[in-house]
């Protein structure tokens, strides 16, 4: 980014160090294993910190048991709130009492104090009056374990210890290993534990023909009324209340005596529970949900018929959870608030089957193959790891396509819509594989030298090497930003208010006499000229502001997400508050050719990627001269969270070639930004031509301006490069990265600057170029 020497000291630069606290990262990783999204984990962590006076020990104890409980409880509360809202809207009936609150009141009566760690803000002091600290520790509700066996069955059990029994059972409990995944090969064991009051699965949504009732009218004991007697001792899960066959909907509707869905329902003799049975011969899997009157619940997922398949391989639990988690994130964007536990289990089951029966060129996938399968979603790290095992060539994208085809064949009896879904996920997975293949085949020319954009842009972008016969570094060309995994980028029409769109405009807003609502950001005037360049007045003011850095241009976070995560907890260095350009978009009445739509139209200038003579590696230049304010290109890359970037950097050896990530902090002043909301763009693996723009200190000929297009929410925006002055034909395009060459702690080692400018600040300071 354009900046002065001083600016390089600030965080309002693309190179800002993004280093979350390692303990936060560990906690996030641990929760991710449970399929919990980073945003939620961090949200709860913060609350727990307040409750526990920043004590990590308490939060980390028993493998983050408190944290997990807090999260479950939080999710529970949200579901309840949603339900309450719905209920109060739809009927005037007396609101049914929350089941959890029933339980909690009940537990509280027994324990004589508040038990909720999170929701009711556990008061340790208060608890200590009745129980020892150890008892309180033991009393954190909600242990959770998952077991799997060789035959493809998992059982997932949840437990809670109330304070009273924690006191009693403390010694016994210590011996139990709770809250850990166990992917061992032992027989499926039912673990006699009691249900967590914090879990959000207490009222499974039963869809289609899945029925889940108890003959006494209760789903499970979480619905137990507070007046029921509390019996605290062991209760084994002997009888399932329900067996749900999630894949049943895929079977052809042949045997209709059961109502046409292949499912029949029959009650258990004990008069307590109901079993749901799938009569279909092609039963792939089923769930067993067992419950006791006390609320002890065991949910097990078994894929029994897969075990008879010769090609069955037990997939790793992590792989299945990851695949299901990814799908939840991608299909539902983030966990769908209306999703039920049954839906989740169903999803898990499908992915379990997917992974357990994938074949590659007639060879069964083994555990290594699963790692690569995950690698499809992960980027090239896994592939790089696996390559060292010397087997990568047998698992290229084509084989994965075969593998996916196999899944479709295997599921031949399923309905068409599901097959289409599979096909869709296949397409997205395959497209990522193309990027992996660059690494796979060293014989293959890495890029189309005639057009490095491979047709993704309107114009071809030539690669020119007048110096030697090397090629540009490997990456996957994308013309638009793409979410890597966790970034929460919400483009919904509902978020665009009337004030954020010009629905009354028509044709070209620039030539309209009506004041366009889209000029809101730029003081009632358009930022662009009719030629599509940024107006000189706007540009000069913008450049002056970022180069001269008056103090009122810097925003200092009270609790900076960048500094907070560092061990030394330094103060915020300040983020440069930038002016935005707002372009017209879908809700606007104007047409696609409207003059207030420049960046969204993509690259229109003739550009070349070339090998620089000064030793800076590859660079970008313009073939024709450009006027001041011309749009050149956008910085396109993967959208990462601050945390993901940190994790990526942590894995890096420090010796790779880097593009520098851009932090999207231009508008942090308008709202306190949270860790989990901090986004950045990284073009190292996926990017466009902007990844070739080299750095120049201070007087670079490009300036980056934040541009709002799809969403008025400035936590995500486009980073667009415009010329800061007229540029000659064949002149290299440069950008001031805003690098602090003095920052030895930055995760990416600075290079020795060869910009050759008279204001160069990095020539003598840093050691060794990385390119």
Ligand X SMILES: C[S@@+](CC[C@H](N)C(=O)[O-])C[C@H]1O[C@@H](n2cnc3c(N)ncnc32)[C@H](O)[C@@H]1O
Nearer residue to ligand X within complex by CB, 516 or 609: 609
In this structure, are residues 27 and 59 in contact, taking their beta carbons and an 8 Å threshold?
A: yes
Q: In angstroms, give the least distance from the CB of 747 to ligand X.
A: 13
755 lies in the binding site for ligand X (CB under 6 A) = yes
Q: What is the radius of gyration, based on Cα positions, of the chain?
A: 29
Nearer residue to ligand X within complex by CB, 401 or 471: 471
- Rounded CA-CA distance 438/73 in Å is 45
User: Pick from 72, 287, 618, 631: which binds ligand X (CB under 6 A)?
Assistant: 618
Nearer residue to ligand X within complex by CB, 117 or 662: 662
Helix, strand, or coil here: 145? strand
Q: In angstroms, give the least distance from the CB of 732 to ligand X.
A: 10
Q: In angstroms, give the least distance from the CB of 209 to ligand X.
A: 56
764 lies in the binding site for ligand X (CB under 6 A) = no
- Rounded CA-CA distance 573/6 in Å is 11
Nearer residue to ligand X within complex by CB, 243 or 452: 452
Q: In angstroms, give the least distance from the CB of 721 to ligand X.
A: 12
561 lies in the binding site for ligand X (CB under 6 A) = no
Nearer residue to ligand X within complex by CB, 681 or 754: 754
Contacts of 462 (CB under 8 A, 6+ apart): 449, 450, 451, 452, 608, 609
Per CB under 6 A, contacts with ligand X among 447-506 are 473
User: Pick from 659, 669, 701, 723: which binds ligand X (CB under 6 A)?
Assistant: 659
Which residues face 631 on adjacent strands? Answer: 722
754 lies in the binding site for ligand X (CB under 6 A) = yes
Nearer residue to ligand X within complex by CB, 396 or 694: 694
Nearer residue to ligand X within complex by CB, 99 or 691: 691
**Contact region with ligand X (CB under 6 A), list: 45-53, 393-401, 434-442, 654-662:** 654-662
**Contact region with ligand X (CB under 6 A), list: 53-61, 122-130, 307-315, 611-619:** 611-619
Q: In angstroms, give the least distance from the CB of 633 to ligand X.
A: 13
In this structure, are residues 311 and 56 in contact, taking their beta carbons and an 8 Å threshold?
A: no
Residue 101, by phi and psi: left (phi above 0), alpha (psi -120 to 50) or beta? alpha
751 lies in the binding site for ligand X (CB under 6 A) = yes
Question: Which has the closest alpha carbon to 140: 211, 66, 80?
Answer: 66
Nearer residue to ligand X within complex by CB, 501 or 694: 694
Q: In angstroms, give the least distance from the CB of 759 to ligand X.
A: 12
Q: Which residue has the tokens 């606290």?
A: 21
User: Pick from 154, 528, 631, 660: which binds ligand X (CB under 6 A)?
Assistant: 660
297 lies in the binding site for ligand X (CB under 6 A) = no
User: Pick from 20, 152, 617, 706: which binds ligand X (CB under 6 A)?
Assistant: 617
Nearer residue to ligand X within complex by CB, 284 or 618: 618
658 lies in the binding site for ligand X (CB under 6 A) = yes
616 lies in the binding site for ligand X (CB under 6 A) = yes
- Rounded CA-CA distance 85/78 in Å is 10
**Contact region with ligand X (CB under 6 A), list: 344-352, 612-620, 662-670, 725-733:** 612-620
Q: In angstroms, give the least distance from the CB of 651 to ligand X.
A: 18
54 lies in the binding site for ligand X (CB under 6 A) = no
Question: Which has the closest alpha carbon to 301: 241, 376, 243?
Answer: 243
Nearer residue to ligand X within complex by CB, 188 or 439: 439
Q: In angstroms, give the least distance from the CB of 682 to ligand X.
A: 11
Q: In angstroms, give the least distance from the CB of 754 to ligand X.
A: 4
- Rounded CA-CA distance 522/519 in Å is 5
- Rounded CA-CA distance 165/141 in Å is 11
Nearer residue to ligand X within complex by CB, 585 or 751: 751
Contacts of 124 (CB under 8 A, 6+ apart): 52, 133, 136
Question: How many beta carbons lie within 10 A of that of residue 769, not counting itself?
Answer: 14
CA dihedral 583, 587, 588, 591 (to 10 degrees): 90
DSSP E strands, 692-763: 694-695, 702-708, 718-723, 732-735
Q: In angstroms, give the least distance from the CB of 691 to ligand X.
A: 5
Nearer residue to ligand X within complex by CB, 498 or 656: 656
**Contact region with ligand X (CB under 6 A), list: 158-166, 362-370, 584-592, 749-757:** 749-757
Contacts of 630 (CB under 8 A, 6+ apart): 532, 533, 605, 722, 723, 727
Closest residue (Cβ) to ligand X?
617
- Rounded CA-CA distance 481/478 in Å is 7
Nearer residue to ligand X within complex by CB, 678 or 755: 755
- Rounded CA-CA distance 437/397 in Å is 7
Q: In angstroms, give the least distance from the CB of 769 to ligand X.
A: 5
Per CB under 6 A, contacts with ligand X among 10-49 are none
Per CB under 6 A, contacts with ligand X among 687-746 are 691-692, 694-695
Among positive and negative, which fits the CA dihedral 509, 601, 428, 27? negative
Nearer residue to ligand X within complex by CB, 473 or 712: 473
DSSP 573-638: --EE----EE---TTSSB-TT-TT--GGG---S-EEEEE-SSSS-EEEEESS-B-TT-EEEE--EE
**Contact region with ligand X (CB under 6 A), list: 222-230, 303-311, 498-506, 616-624:** 616-624
Q: In angstroms, give the least distance from the CB of 745 to ligand X.
A: 17
Q: What is the DSSP letter of 507?
A: B
Q: How far is CA 497 from CA 492, 588, 596, 677, 715, in A?
A: 11, 11, 18, 21, 17
Per CB under 6 A, contacts with ligand X among 348-387 are none
In this structure, are residues 122 and 140 in contact, taking their beta carbons and an 8 Å threshold?
A: no
Please tell me the count of residues contacting ligand X according to CB under 6 A: 20
Q: How far is CA 324 from CA 106, 183, 343, 452, in A?
A: 35, 17, 11, 34
**Contact region with ligand X (CB under 6 A), list: 63-71, 82-90, 445-453, 763-771:** 763-771
Q: How far is CA 120 from the centre of its chain?
A: 29
Helix, strand, or coil here: 19? coil
Nearer residue to ligand X within complex by CB, 417 or 657: 657
Q: Print burial letters for 312-350: b (CB count within 10 Å at least 16), e (below 16).
A: bbbbbbbbbbbbbbbbbbeeeeebeeeebbbbbbbbbbb
Nearer residue to ligand X within complex by CB, 407 or 760: 760
684 lies in the binding site for ligand X (CB under 6 A) = no
**Contact region with ligand X (CB under 6 A), list: 135-143, 260-268, 634-642, 751-759:** 751-759
Nearer residue to ligand X within complex by CB, 303 or 755: 755
Q: In angstroms, give the least distance from the CB of 466 to ligand X.
A: 15
**Contact region with ligand X (CB under 6 A), list: 87-95, 446-454, 514-522, 753-761:** 753-761
Question: Which has the closest alpha carbon to 35: 273, 321, 250, 261?
Answer: 321
578 lies in the binding site for ligand X (CB under 6 A) = no
**Contact region with ligand X (CB under 6 A), list: 376-384, 436-444, 653-661, 707-715:** 653-661
- Rounded CA-CA distance 687/456 in Å is 11
Q: In angstroms, give the least distance from the CB of 767 to ligand X.
A: 12
For ligand X, the binding residues (CB under 6 A) are: 473, 616-619, 657-660, 691-692, 694-695, 751, 753-755, 769-771
């Amino acid at each position: 980014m354009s900046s002065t020497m001083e600016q390089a000291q600030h965080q309002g630069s693309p190179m800002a160090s993004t280093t979350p606290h390692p303990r936060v990262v560990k906690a996030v990783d641990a929760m991710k294993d449970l399929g919990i999204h980073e945003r939620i984990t961090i949200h709860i962590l913060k609350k727990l910190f307040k409750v526990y006076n920043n004590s990590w020990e308490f939060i980390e104890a028993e493998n983050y048991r408190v944290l997990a409980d807090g999260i479950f409880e939080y999710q529970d509360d949200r579901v309840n709130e949603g339900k309450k809202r719905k209920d109060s809207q739809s009927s005037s009936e007396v609101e049914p009492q929350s089941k959890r609150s029933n339980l909690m009141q009940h537990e509280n009566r027994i324990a004589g104090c508040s038990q909720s760690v999170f929701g009711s803000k556990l008061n340790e002091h208060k608890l200590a009056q009745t129980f020892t600290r150890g008892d309180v520790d033991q009393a954190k509700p909600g242990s959770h374990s998952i077991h799997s066996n060789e035959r493809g069955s998992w059982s997932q059990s949840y437990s809670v210890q109330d304070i009273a029994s924690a006191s009693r059972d403390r010694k016994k409990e210590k011996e139990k290993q709770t809250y850990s995944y166990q992917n061992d090969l032992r027989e499926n064991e039912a673990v006699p534990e009691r249900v967590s009051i914090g879990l959000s699965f207490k009222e499974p949504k039963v869809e289609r023909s899945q029925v889940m009732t108890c003959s006494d009218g209760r789903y499970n004991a979480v619905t137990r009324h507070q007046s029921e007697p509390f019996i605290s001792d062991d209760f084994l899960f002997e009888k399932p209340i329900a067996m749900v066959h999630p894949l049943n909907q895929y079977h052809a509707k042949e045997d209709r005596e059961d109502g046409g869905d292949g499912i029949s329902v029959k009650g258990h003799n004990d008069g307590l529970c109901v079993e749901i049975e799938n009569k279909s011969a092609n039963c792939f899997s089923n769930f067993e949900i067992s419950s006791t009157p006390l609320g002890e619940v065991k949910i097990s997922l078994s894929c029994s018929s897969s075990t008879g398949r010769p090609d069955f391989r037990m997939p790793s639990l992590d792989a299945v959870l990851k695949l299901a988690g990814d799908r939840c994130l991608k299909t539902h964007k983030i966990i769908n608030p209306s999703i039920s536990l049954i839906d989740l289990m169903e999803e898990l089951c499908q992915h379990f089957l997917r992974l357990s029966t994938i074949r590659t060129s007639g060879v069964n996938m083994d555990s290594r193959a699963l790692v690569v399968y995950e690698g499809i979603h992960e980027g090239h790290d896994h592939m790089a790891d696996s390559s060292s095992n010397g087997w990568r060539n047998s698992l290229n994208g084509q084989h994965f396509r075969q593998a996916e085809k196999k899944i479709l064949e295997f599921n031949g009896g399923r309905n068409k819509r599901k097959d289409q879904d599979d096909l869709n996920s296949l397409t997205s997975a395959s497209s990522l594989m193309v990027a992996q293949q660059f690494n796979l085949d060293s014989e293959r020319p890495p890029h189309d030298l005639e057009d490095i954009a491979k047709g993704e842009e309107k114009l071809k972008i030539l690669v020119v090497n007048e110096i030697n016969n090397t090629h540009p570094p490997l990456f996957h060309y994308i013309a638009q930003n793409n979410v890597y995994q966790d970034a929460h980028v919400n483009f919904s029409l509902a978020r665009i208010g009337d004030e954020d769109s010009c629905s009354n405009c028509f044709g070209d807003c620039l030539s309209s006499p009506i004041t366009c609502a889209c000029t809101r950001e730029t003081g009632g005037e358009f930022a662009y000229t009719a030629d599509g360049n940024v107006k000189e007045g706007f540009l000069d003011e913008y450049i002056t502001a970022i180069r001269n850095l008056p103090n009122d241009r810097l925003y200092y976070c009270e609790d900076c997400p960048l500094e907070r995560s560092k061990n030394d907890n330094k103060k915020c260095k300040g983020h440069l508050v930038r002016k935005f350009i707002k372009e017209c978009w879908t809700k606007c009445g104007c047409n696609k050719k409207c003059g207030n739509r420049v960046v969204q139209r993509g690259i229109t200038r003739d550009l070349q990627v070339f090998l620089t003579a000064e030793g800076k590696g590859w660079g970008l230049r313009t073939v024709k001269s450009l006027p001041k304010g011309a749009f050149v290109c956008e910085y396109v890359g993967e959208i990462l969270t601050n945390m993901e970037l940190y994790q990526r950097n942590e894995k890096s050896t420090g010796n790779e070639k880097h593009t520098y990530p851009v932090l999207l902090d231009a508008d942090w002043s308008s709202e306190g930004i949270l860790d989990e909301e901090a986004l950045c763009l990284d073009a190292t693996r996926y990017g466009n031509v902007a990844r070739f723009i080299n750095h120049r200190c201070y007087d670079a000929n490009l300036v980056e301006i934040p541009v709002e297009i799809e969403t008025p929410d400035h936590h995500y925006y486009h980073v667009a490069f415009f010329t800061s002055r007229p540029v000659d034909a064949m002149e290299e395009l440069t950008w001031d990265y805003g690098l602090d060459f003095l920052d030895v702690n930055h995760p990416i080692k600075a290079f020795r600057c060869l910009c050759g400018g008279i204001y160069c600040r990095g020539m003598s300071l840093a050691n060794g170029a990385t390119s």
